[in-house]
Structure 1
C-alpha cells in the first residue's frame, strides 16, 4: 500500500483537481435529484394499503383528492366558474365539487343535506383537488394566489399542501441547519487543532465527499425527503473525525520524518486501519437500517453507507494531497493549543465512577422497558395557526370538519353487496359520508345507462371504489378505530378488499414499527459486536462496549416516555442505530488507549491515563455530533427530521457521559472477566507477566492509536499523582 500512498502524494495536484472537478460536477446534479415526499411509497410492498394505491393507479383514471380549496361567500354559479379556473392551474389533475355528485340545477334545499354540506355550506364552497405528484409546491402556490384574489379568509389545505410546504422550505431548512452547525464545528476544530487553516482542510475534505454523495443520488433515481435533509448533516458530523485522525497522525510523523512526503505516507499507513475500523462500525450501524420493512430506512441507511465510504476515500486520497499542497499555509497559521490539558481528568471522573455504575444499574431496566412503550406519531406536519398552512387547515376544519377520505376497493359485480357495505359504512362512528355508485347514484340504476365520466369515478374494469369520509384527525385513536371498523365491515361482504388513504396508510405504518424496531436493533448490535470482537480479539470487550452505548440509547429513548411527550416513529427507529453506529467509536477510542496502558500497569492506572489522552477527542467528537443533531431539531419543521435531530443531539451527550463515566467503571470492575475473554490479552499483573509483545488490543476506532506516545513511566507518574494506583 505504501506505493499507492506515495503515488497519490507524487501526483497530488492532479488528485486535488480531479476530486474538485468531480465535486463540482456532482454539485450541478444536486438540484436535479428527485426528492420523494410521499411516505406511502416506502411502505413494504406486501402492505395492503400499498396494494390499494397501486390498484387505483392502474385501474382508475382519477386519483384520490389530496388538497382542499375553500372559497367563502360564493353562489353556485360562481363556484362552477372557480372550479374551471382551479382545473386550469398547472399541476392540477382533477377537481371535484357538488356538481359531480348531485344535480345543481335542482334546488339544494330539496337534496340530501349531508351530501350538499360536504361541498357547499353557509355560502362557502369546498373543492376537492388532485395535485400531480412532484408539482405540489408550484400548484399550491398558484391555488393560493387564485383564492386570495377572490377575497380574504379563503384557504388551501390537505396532503398536497403539506408536501408543497416541505418542498418550498426544504432548502431553507438545510441551509439553516448548516448556518447553525458550521460555526460550532469551526469553533470546536479551532480549539482542538494547532493551525487556523486546519479546520478549513477538515471541512473541505468532508464537504467534497458530501457533494459527491448528494450528486450521485441522481443516478439512484432520487431519495426521500428524510435522507435529503439528514444525510449531509450526519455524514459531516460522523466522518469529520476521519480527517482529524489523519492530520493528527501527520503532525506526529512530521517530528521524525525526513520529508513532508515521508511524513504523510507514514501517517496514511498508520491511520488507514484505524480510520477503516471507525468507518466500518459506523457503516454497519447505518447499514442495519436497510433491514427495516419500512423502506425509508433502506433509503437513508444505504445513502449514509455510501457517504461513509466516500468520506473514507476522500480522507485517504484527497485530504493528504490537499494537505501537502497547503503545508506552507498550515505552518504559517499555527497557534498554541487553545484547549486546556485534560491529562488529570481521570481524577474527578474516578470519584463519580461508583455512582455512575450504581445509577446505571438502577436505571437500565426501567429505561429499557420505558423506551419500548414510547408513544409514536406518524405524521410529519401538524397545523400551526400562526403560519399560513396551519391557519388554512384549521379554517377548513372549522367550516367543513376534518377532510379525511378513506378508499375501499372491492371486486366489481355485486351491486347489492356494494349497497349493503355503503349502508354499513355510513352507520359507523366518525364516518360523516360515503360516496360510491350505490350510495351516490343508486344501485337500481345500471351503470350502462350513465355517461362514462360518471361511472369511471366509481368503477374500473375489475374493482368498485367506495370513499368514506372520516370526521377524525388522520392520526388519532378515532381514525385508527374507524379503519379497523371499515375493514371489518368490508370483510363481511368480500373475501378480497383493500383500503387506502392517510389514516389507512398510517395504520399500516403503526403495525410495522414494532417489528422494525426489534429487527433493526438486533441486526445493528450483532454486526457491531462482531466487528468489535474481531478488532479487539475479545468476547468480553464488545459486551462491555455495547452495554455502555446501549444503556445510553435506552436512557435517551426512555426520556419521552417519562416526560409524557410523543416521538416521530422515523426519528425513533433511525436514532436507535445511528446513535449506536456513531458513538460506539467513543468507546473504541477509550478502550484502545486503555488496553495499551493495561499491558503496562493496573486497571485503575490504565483508565486514568486513557481518559487523560482521549478526553479532548471524545469531547470534540461528541460536541460535533450533538451540534449536528440540535441543528436539525432547531431548523426543521418536518417532524421526522426534528425528532431525529433532538434524539441524536441528546444521545451524543448521553453517550459521552456513558463512555467517560460508566465505561471506565466496567473496565475497572470487569477487568478479570475482560482478561479471561480476550485472546492473548497480555495484561499487566505486577509479576512481570504483562508485555507489549503479547498484546491483542488491536486497532480501535481512532487514528490516535497509530501515534500513541505515553510511556510507562509517565503513566505511572500520573497514576501516583491521582492516587489511582492504590
Structure 2
C-alpha cells in the first residue's frame, strides 16, 4: 500500500485533474437518472399481482382506475360536461361516472339510490379516472388546473405524481439546510477554521460521484434519491476525520508534510477500511431483500461508501497537502471543553445504566415485532397536505373506495355471470363494471361498439372492474383480497388474475415480512464476523452487536408503545442502516478502551476512553441525527419523513448506549474480555481509588 500512496502524493495535479473531470461527467450524468416513486413497481417478479398487471397491460389498452376526482355543487349536466373535459386531458385513459351504469336521462329519484350515491351525492359528483402511468405528473397537474383547488382528487396516481414533485423540491431544501448545519458542527469540533470546509468538500465530491454513477442503474427509487446523499454525508464523514487527525499527529512528530501523509495513510488504512466495511455490510444486507427497493438502496449506498473511501484515500490526501499551510494559519483553540469530567461522570452511572439496559432488551425486542404496519402508499400524505385533505373530503362524502380488476378466461358467460353474482353478494363490493353486468350475458358481443367492448373483453380475458368499499390496505382489506381470490379460484382454478393497488399491497406485505428476519440475521451475522476478525475476540462482538441491536429495538418499539403505525419499508431499511451506521461508534470506543487498558486500570481506562472519543462520536452522531431530523421535518412524503424520524431517534439512542452502557459492559466483563481475546494483556496493577490523569495524547484513536 505504501507504494500506492507514494504514487498518489507524487502526482497531485493528475489526481486533481482526474477528479475534476469525473465531477463534471457525474454532474451531467446525474441529470439523466430517473427516479421511480411507485412502490408497487418494486414487487418481485412473479408475484400474483405483478403477473396480473403485466398480463393486463398486454391484453388491454388501459390501466386500472387509479384516481378519484370530486366536484362540489354541480348539477348532472355540469358533471357530464366535466366528464367530457376530463376525458380530453392527455394521459387520461378513461373516466367513469353515473352515466356508465344508469341512464341519466331518467329522473334519478327512480333509480337505485345506492347506485346513484356511489357517483352523485348531495350535488357532489365523483368520477373514477384512469391515468396513464407514463404521463402521471403532467396529467395530474392538468386535472388540478381544470378542477381548481376548491375541488378534490385522490388515489394512487395522484399520490405518486404529488410525491414526485414534492420530494424533488424537498431534497434540495434538505441539502440547502444540512450543509451549513454540518459546517457549524465541524467548526465546534475542529481545531482549524478551514478544516470543516475541506472535510465537507471532500465528501461533497463523493456524493456527486455517486449521484452521477447511479446512471448505471438507469432508474433509482425515491427512497435512494431522497436519503442517499444525506446518509452518505453523515456516515462517511468519519473517514476523512480519521485521516486528518492521523496526518496532524505525524506532523506533530516532526515529519515533513509529504512523508507525514504517506505514514498517515498507511497507519489509518486498517481503521478506515474496518469502519467502512461494517457500514457497507449494513447497506449490502438490503441487497438480499426480494422487495426491490432493498437492492436498489443497498447497491447505491454500498457504491456510495466505496466512492467515499476512494475520495478519502486518493483526493483528500492531495487536498490536505495543498492546503496544510492554510490549516496552520487558521488554527484556533478548542471550542469544546475537555471530556475528562464527562468520563468521570459516566463511571458513576455506567453500572446502573447497564442494569437499566438489560431491562429494556426483552420488552423492546417483543414490542418492535408487534407494531401496526402500513405496507403500501395509501397513508403517505397526512391531512396537513392538500392531497391528504382532498382524500379525507372524498372519503367523508362518498366513503372509502378503491378498484380491483379481476380477469378471467373469456368465453363462458354463464360461469362469469355466476361469479359476478357471488361478488355482488360481498358487502364490500359496491359496483362491478363488466360485460355480463353492463351488457348482459344474453347480448351478443357483436352488438357492442369496439370502444366499449375493448374495455371489457380482450383476446384471452374478460375483465371485471370491482369498486370496493374498503381501505387500500389493512386486515379487513387483505381478508377481502383472500376472499375474492378464493372465489375466483373456485370457478377458474389458477387461470384467474387479480390486479389493483390493494392486491399489490397484499403481495407487498407478504413479500417484505418474509424479508425482515432473513435480512437482519445476515446483517447481524456479517457484522459479528467482521468484529470477530478485527477484534480477535469472542466477547467483544457479542457486547457491541447486542448494544446496537437493542438501540434498534428500542427505536422501533416506540411506535408500538405510543400506539402509532410504522411504514414497513422504513422499518426494514432502518434496521440495517442504524446497525451499519452506528456500530462504528461502538467500534471506535471499544478499540480505544482495548488500547488504553494495556496501560491503565479499568476505571482509568473508561475515563480516558470517553475523554478521547466523545468528540469524535458526537461529531458523527450529531451530523447523522440532524440529517435525519431535517428529512423528518421537511419531507411531506410519509415514508421518507418517518425514515428520517427513525434515523434521528435511532442515532441518538445508539449514541446514548455507546457512551453510557458500553463502557459499563466493558468494565463489568473486563476479565472475560481478556480471557476471550487473542494477544491481549491488560494492566494488572491494583486499581487506584482516585483517577490520575495520564498523557495518552500520543495514542491515536482508530
TM bin (shorter chain): over 0.9
User: Which of 471, 474, 484 is the matching residue for 2:472?
Assistant: 474
How big is each residue's C-alpha offset from its partner over 1:358-380, in whole Å with a ceiling of 9 and x where there is no partner?
11121111111111111112244
Q: CA–CA distance in 1 between the matches of 2:532 and 2:676?
A: 10
| Residue 425 of structure 2 is aligned to residue 427 of structure 1 | yes
TM-score, structure 1 length as denominator?
0.91
Q: CA–CA distance in 2 between the matches of 1:467 and 1:65?
A: 9
Map 1:559-638 to 2 at 5 A.
559-638=558-637
Conserved in 1, the CA contact under 8 Å of 2:42 and 2:293? yes
Per the TM alignment, residue 287 of structure 1 is displaced from its structure 2 partner at its CA by: 0.6
| 1:494 aligned counterpart, secondary structure | helix
How big is each residue's C-alpha offset from its partner over 1:225-276, in whole Å with a ceiling of 9 and x where there is no partner?
1111111111110001111111111111112344221121211222122111
Name the counterpart of 2:244. 247
Q: CA–CA distance in 2 between the matches of 1:555 and 1:673?
A: 27
Structure 2 CA distance for partners of 1:432 and 1:361, relative to 1, 3 Å: same
Name the counterpart of 1:332. 329
User: Which of 181, 191, 195 is the matching residue for 1:194?
Assistant: 191
| 1:413 aligned counterpart, secondary structure | coil
| Residue 166 of structure 2 is aligned to residue 166 of structure 1 | no
Q: CA–CA distance in 1 between the matches of 2:104 and 2:20?
A: 64
Name the counterpart of 1:406. 404
Q: CA–CA distance in 2 between the matches of 1:536 and 1:585?
A: 13
How big is each residue's C-alpha offset from its partner over 1:73-103, in whole Å with a ceiling of 9 and x where there is no partner?
5555554443343233233333334444555
TM-score, structure 2 length as denominator?
0.94
Q: Which sections of structure 2, spanning at least 5 residues, go unmatched?
A: 696-702
Q: Which sections of structure 1, spanning at least 5 residues, go unmatched?
A: 688-711, 721-726
| Residue 310 of structure 2 is aligned to residue 310 of structure 1 | no
Structure 2 CA distance for partners of 1:650 and 1:114, relative to 1, 3 Å: same
Per the TM alignment, residue 629 of structure 1 is displaced from its structure 2 partner at its CA by: 1.3
Per the TM alignment, residue 68 of structure 1 is displaced from its structure 2 partner at its CA by: 2.1
Conserved in 1, the CA contact under 8 Å of 2:385 and 2:636? no
Structure 2 CA distance for partners of 1:32 and 1:93, relative to 1, 3 Å: farther
Conserved in 2, the CA contact under 8 Å of 1:383 and 1:393? no
| 2:462 aligned counterpart, secondary structure | strand
Structure 2 CA distance for partners of 1:398 and 1:669, relative to 1, 3 Å: closer
Q: CA–CA distance in 2 between the matches of 1:564 and 1:114?
A: 36
Q: CA–CA distance in 2 between the matches of 1:394 and 1:562?
A: 27
Q: CA–CA distance in 2 between the matches of 1:675 and 1:466?
A: 70
Map 1:349-364 to 2 at 5 A.
349-364=346-361
| Residue 693 of structure 2 is aligned to residue 718 of structure 1 | yes
Name the counterpart of 1:462. 460
Conserved in 2, the CA contact under 8 Å of 1:429 and 1:482? no
Name the counterpart of 1:668. 667
Greater CA drift, 375-384 or 322-331: 375-384
Conserved in 2, the CA contact under 8 Å of 1:72 and 1:124? yes
Q: CA–CA distance in 1 between the matches of 2:644 and 2:384?
A: 23
Name the counterpart of 2:485. 487
Per the TM alignment, residue 112 of structure 1 is displaced from its structure 2 partner at its CA by: 5.0
Q: CA–CA distance in 2 between the matches of 1:560 and 1:490?
A: 38
Q: CA–CA distance in 1 between the matches of 2:335 and 2:473?
A: 51
Name the counterpart of 2:683. 684
Conserved in 2, the CA contact under 8 Å of 1:173 and 1:635? yes
Per the TM alignment, residue 156 of structure 1 is displaced from its structure 2 partner at its CA by: 2.4
Name the counterpart of 2:204. 207
Conserved in 2, the CA contact under 8 Å of 1:431 and 1:468? yes
Conserved in 1, the CA contact under 8 Å of 2:39 and 2:376? no
User: Which of 426, 433, 436 is the matching residue for 2:434?
Assistant: 436
Per the TM alignment, residue 187 of structure 1 is displaced from its structure 2 partner at its CA by: 1.5
Name the counterpart of 1:42. 42
Name the counterpart of 2:551. 552
Per the TM alignment, residue 130 of structure 1 is displaced from its structure 2 partner at its CA by: 2.3
| 1:718 aligned counterpart, secondary structure | coil
Q: CA–CA distance in 1 between the matches of 2:337 and 2:30?
A: 41
Map 1:85-484 to 2 at 5 A.
85-102=85-102, 104=104, 112-148=112-148, 153-380=150-377, 381-382=379-380, 384-484=382-482
Greater CA drift, 554-563 or 68-77: 68-77
